[in-house]
Amino acid sequence: MADQLARTHPLEAWLPAFAELTGAVRIDAEPFVSMAVLRAARATTGDLRIRGTALPTAPNTWAPAGDGRLIWLGPDEWLLTSPGTAPEALEEELQTLLRPVGGSAADVSAQRISLRLGGPQARQVLAKGCSIDLHPRVFTAGQSTQTALGQAAVVLLALDEDEFAVLVRSSFAGYLASWLLDASLEHADPALTS
């Protein structure tokens, strides 16, 4: 598929600025990740597994699923990411699984983009614009949250002690990238800021 038609990432223009950030915070844009939103009433899902992973039932958690992540968005709503599946194939795969139980799936691959934020000061950068408790004992790997970062609504995933994924609607991607770069400036390599 798509042998000739080029894809354009909303944050292409920001990648050089991300690459220059070499201090205690790293920012990167995950390239084209397919995503689908899954809906199903909990009572109907039983032992349904998505790519081998049970649907997370604890609010604000995520679990690895296949080559991506399965993220709780609501009591009957999840987001599945998969970098390696075509958007329409991902929707079809999930429709097949969910329709029999009264659920649904919708391709939202271009609805959001995924940023990666890492480094020992990553939590500090997030805390500049995020009102939830980001203490390493509280917001641990496997946690997720839907909240505001700066003035953008985000889905924030704790991947590791100091590694995070930030999902944001594509139209806000530039705003959030600028915001994160601005918030990271003081943690950057001093050579960049002098």
Provide the binding-site residues for other proteins, judged by CB under 8 A: 1-10, 13, 32, 37, 39, 59-60, 73-75, 77, 87-88, 102-104, 106-112, 124, 127-135, 138, 145-148, 150-153, 169-172, 174-176, 178-179, 182-183, 185-186, 188, 193
CB of 13 to other proteins, least distance (A): 7
Closest CB to other proteins among 52 and 182?
Answer: 182
In angstroms, the Cα distances linking 93 to 44, 80, 83 are 18, 11, 14
Closest CB to other proteins among 54 and 132?
Answer: 132
CB of 54 to other proteins, least distance (A): 18
Contact at 8 Å (CB) between 178 and 21? no
Residue among 67, 75, 70, 58 at smallest CA distance from 97: 70
Closest CB to other proteins among 19 and 106?
Answer: 106
Closest CB to other proteins among 52 and 138?
Answer: 138
Classify residue 15 by burial, with Cβ atoms within 10 Å: 0-12, 13-18, 19+. Answer: middle
DSSP 176: H
